[in-house]
Amino acid sequence: MTEAFSQEFRDYLKKIGSGQHTSKNLSRQESAAATELMLKQQATPAQIGAYLIAHRIKRATVEEMAGILDSFDHLGPRLPAIDHPRPVSVFSIPYDGRSRTAPLLPLVALLLAAEDSPVLMHGGSCMPTKYGLPLVELWQGLGVDWAPLSLVQVHQVLSETGLGLVYLPHHFPLAHGLVEYREQIGKRPTLATAELLWCPYAGNRHQFSGFVHPPTEKLLQNVFELRGNAYPYTTIKGLEGSCDLPCDRTNIIGVYNPEITPSFEHLFLSARDYGLGGAEVPLESTETLLTQMQQLLEGKESPLLPAVLWTGGFYLWHLNICSDLPSAIEKVRLLLLEGAARSTLEVLRQTVAAFS
Give the model confidence (pLDDT) of 114-167 as tens digits: 999 999 999 999 999 999 999 999 999 999 999 999 999 999 999 999 999 999
Segments of the chain assigned to CATH 1.20.970.10? 3-75
Q: Is 64 helix (H, G, I), strand (E, B) or coil?
A: helix
Backbone angles phi, psi at 162, to 5 degrees: 80, 15
The residue among 98, 91, 114, 308 whose CA lies nearest residue 200 is 91
Q: What is the pTM of this model?
A: 0.96
pLDDT of residue 175 exceeding 50:
yes
State CA 167 to chain mean position distance: 11
- The CATH number of the structural domain formed by 88-342 is 3.40.1030.10
Could you tell me which residues come within 8 angstroms of residue 189 by beta carbon, excluding any fewer than 6 positions away?
Answer: 52, 53, 55, 56, 178, 181, 182
- Model confidence pLDDT, tens digit, residues 1-21: 445 456 899 999 999 988 777
- Model confidence pLDDT, tens digit, residues 236-265: 999 999 999 999 999 999 999 988 878 899
Q: Is the dihedral of CA 156, 319, 92, 296 positive or negative?
A: negative
The dihedral region occupied by 228, where left means phi > 0, alpha psi between -120 and 50, and beta the remainder, is: left
CA distance 153 to 355: 8
> Cα angle vertex 202, ends 343, 348, to 5°?
15
Q: Is 316 helix (H, G, I), strand (E, B) or coil?
A: helix
Could you tell me which residues come within 8 angstroms of residue 195 by beta carbon, excluding any fewer than 6 positions away?
Answer: 92, 94, 95, 122
pLDDT of residue 203 exceeding 70:
yes
Could you tell me which residues come within 8 angstroms of residue 253 by beta carbon, excluding any fewer than 6 positions away?
Answer: 234, 235, 236, 237, 245, 266, 267, 268, 269
Given this structure, which CATH class describes domain 3-75? mainly alpha
Strand duo 233-236 + 251-256: pairing: antiparallel
Segments of the chain assigned to CATH 3.40.1030.10? 88-342
CA distance 286 to 28: 41
